[in-house]
Amino acid sequence: MLIHSLSESKHLIRMLANLRLVSVLIFGLASCKSNLVVLGDVSSATKLTKYDFATVKTTALKEGDSFTSEPLICQKSKATEGQAKFHIESVSDTDINCALNENNPPNLICSPINKPGTRNWSSEINLCCTLGKDNLCQSIELTVFDKNFDTSNATLNTVEAVDPPEIYKAGDLIRLKLTSPEILLVEGAPRIRLQFDQGTAFANYESGSGSQTLLFSHLVESGEEAIKLDYSSTDALQLNQGSIKIDDGSDADIRLPTTGSSGSLSGGDQRLKVDTSAPLPPFSVGFAYAFSGGSLITVSWGNGSDNNFKTHHLKLCTVDDCATGCQTESLFVSSPAGVSSAGGTYYACVKSEDKLGLTSNWIPSIDPIIVDTGLPQVLKVTSSAANGYYKAGDVLPITVQFSKIVLLQRTSDIKLELATGQLISYVSGSGSDSVLFNYTVAPGDTAADLDYLNSSSLKIGLGSIKDIVGNPASLNLPLIGTLTSLAGQKDLTIDTTSPSAPTGITVPNGSLNPGTRITTQYTPGTDLNLKQHRSKGCFDSACSVSCSTETLSSHSPADIMISVPDQNYFACIQAEDLAGNRSPWSSSSTAVTVQGQAVKKIAGSAIEGYNNCSILGDDSLKCWGLGDNGRLGIGNNELHTSPREAAVNFGEGKYAVEVGVGAEHSCALLNDGSIKCWGINSQGQLGYG
């Protein structure tokens, strides 16, 4: 009887070792010229053709379990081509004793005998065959596998990534290498189901048929993430209507090593990461203070996050779009961080970056910081008062403008000294760049062009002027007379001296009619800033009683309007300068007499006789009597027992030449031929339509 080699036995053992149950493969001997058939029991004995394998199955065994099968019947059959084979599944660590059944010589009864306590999971199986002449027992080596703890001799016994990067990103190709101790033949498009943190995807067969290595690949897509990439299960290799066979034509066992175990994709030193998402952005970006007087600024934020986080980018920008006026970026793993900056207003912008170079959006600070390392400087001193002349009692606002916002403390000590000798006080402006002082002109002050005393005229005493970051202001004012000084900005003349009074005032001799102008001669008053003279006629030489409306003249003579008949008028004249200072009134030594007024026209009511009107020599219109319904035209409805000048507006240059009086209305013919009426209009008396 010929015996197959031990290496052939091991070859087929490896091929079948990955079956779900522990398996033993034993070759029959070719010289037996028979097929050996393994049956579950005698009653179900059936002849099988070559390469068929009947089985006796049990539940899966693990280390420490034992099992005794039903008797196995090795039945001879007629010689066929090839080798005789049979297959035993699910045996414990046993010896199989072979004995000739005398009652049925063609049959060989093989009984497994349990060996308690054995843990080496290997033994010898005695195979017995008979030709009717003698018995021959030969031994082969048996290795037993249990799927629950050892698959080291699986057909596909390693799965690993080919040249993996530290982290796979979107667009990267994941290439997997499956290595087998056997030559594998692939048909179709098998694939491996990969397990990501959320969901699965397939790595498709690429190449390797006819070798011991199969290559699969998967193109990473956006949204796929894995902290530790693996295939989905031991059944992750799917034929996908294709096939994987070994070189003898039989199907290969396509189970993969248990996930996480040695030889699996996530076993051993392999830790494959997939990251296609940008990191979460930082948040709550801001500054500790709104202002900084130093060049080093501290920025804080809530850290961004990512499974593969690397760093934060930080920059300062002049606009919160994080794109305008930005300084060079700096890298910081976590908050807070300090960055340097020149003076200006800045927003802090921070973004996250992972190890793949994926970045979050820039997140700006809500509020900016003002960085100011320079001292506040006085830019100019000016005033909102109009250029011109000012007298005692006038108030002039004086503004000191700084180069930046300043804050003032103990403001009662802060003064500005003027060339007039006045030390004027602070009014307002703390928290702005313009500090306001008020100058009230005092008697005796004088200045041809108002300015402060000198460049050191801004006094703070125990007070302070600082910018918002605490830098003390420079108190130096622009040089006197320069364009940015007060005198350079404005033309303000301070004049508190009144002009001298006019003298030599004379009026014509005799008497004048009412409404006549008195032509008055005088010697003008004097002043460096003389502007004009004011003239009026008064009943007294003190120039205070029943004075006429003032008229203005720059020099002699002056015309004074007089209107009250039968009165004596004194001519009164006063000098005034450009600042508004005025001399005392001076009067003429004699008065002029106004004659009584002549009446040109008179009319009364023919019906009631309760109201009357007259036109005087100066063309004025006066009415008296009952005033109800506005019949007198003097602006009220009262009774007037003496003539009152009518308030009817005839229009510029117009006056009454004729007047007619009705019961409750009156009409006048004007010098231009038009008619003007006033009073009641219940029956359309006024003719207004």
DSSP string for residues in 635-687: SS---EEEEEE------TT--EEEEEE-SSEEEEEETTS-EEEEE--TTSTT-
**Is residue 150 situated within a structural domain?**
no
Neighbours of 591 (CB within 10 A): 19
**Is residue 259 situated within a structural domain?**
no
Q: Are 24 and 133 found together in one domain?
A: yes
Global pTM exceeds 0.85? no
- In this prediction, residue 607 carries a pLDDT of 62
Q: Are 535 and 470 found together in one domain?
A: no
Burial of 327 (0-12, 13-18, 19+ CB in 10 A): middle
Three-class DSSP category at 331? strand
Sign of the alpha-carbon torsion through 543, 547, 553, 558: negative
**Is residue 268 situated within a structural domain?**
no
Domain count of the fold of the chain: 6
Domain boundary (109, 143, 177) is at 143
Q: Are 417 and 446 found together in one domain?
A: yes
Q: Are 398 and 312 found together in one domain?
A: no
Domain boundary (317, 349, 371) is at 371
What sections of 3-141 are H helices per DSSP?
6-16
Domain coverage including residue 473: 378-495
- In this prediction, residue 41 carries a pLDDT of 32
Rounded-to-integer distance, Cα 124 and Cα 115, Å: 12
- In this prediction, residue 609 carries a pLDDT of 65
**Is residue 153 situated within a structural domain?**
no
Q: Are 365 and 386 found together in one domain?
A: no
CATH code of residue 547: 2.60.40.10
> How far is CA 125 from its chain centroid?
81
Domain boundary (143, 168, 203) is at 143
Query: Going by C-beta distance under 8 Å and a sequence separation of 6 or more, which residues neighbour residue 57?
Result: 21, 89, 90
- In this prediction, residue 486 carries a pLDDT of 96
**Is residue 176 situated within a structural domain?**
yes
- In this prediction, residue 512 carries a pLDDT of 72
Q: Which residue numbers in the chain have pLDDT < 70? A: 1-157, 511, 513-515, 596-601, 605-609, 689
Rounded-to-integer distance, Cα 303 and Cα 293, Å: 27
Tell me the β-bridge partners of 573: 535, 586
Rounded-to-integer distance, Cα 77 and Cα 54, Å: 14
Q: Are 139 and 10 found together in one domain?
A: yes
DSSP letter (8 states) at residue 393? T
Rounded-to-integer distance, Cα 88 and Cα 6, Å: 18
**Is residue 261 situated within a structural domain?**
no
Length of the chain: 689
SS (H, E, C) 435-501: EEEEEECCCCCEECCCCECCCCCEECCCCEEEECCCCECCCCCCCCCCCCCHHHHCCEEEECCCCCC
Q: Are 100 and 204 found together in one domain?
A: no
- In this prediction, residue 153 carries a pLDDT of 36
CA dihedral (46, 51, 55, 61) in degrees, to 10, reads 170
**Is residue 265 situated within a structural domain?**
no
Q: Are 309 and 325 found together in one domain?
A: yes
Q: Are 416 and 334 found together in one domain?
A: no
Amino acid symbol at 162: V
At 112, give phi and psi (nearest 5°): -75, 135
Q: Are 51 and 127 found together in one domain?
A: yes
Q: Are 643 and 656 found together in one domain?
A: yes
Beta carbons of 269 and 263 less than 8 angstroms apart: no
pLDDT in tens, 32-61: 222 233 333 333 333 332 222 233 334 444
The vertex-358 CA angle with 354 and 363, nearest 5°, equals 90
Q: Are 508 and 489 found together in one domain?
A: no
Burial of 384 (0-12, 13-18, 19+ CB in 10 A): exposed
Judged by phi (left if over 0) then psi (alpha if -120 to 50, else beta), residue 234 lies in alpha
**Is residue 151 situated within a structural domain?**
no
Three-class DSSP category at 529? coil
DSSP letter (8 states) at residue 122? E
pLDDT in tens, 291-332: 887 778 899 999 999 989 999 999 999 999 999 999 999 999
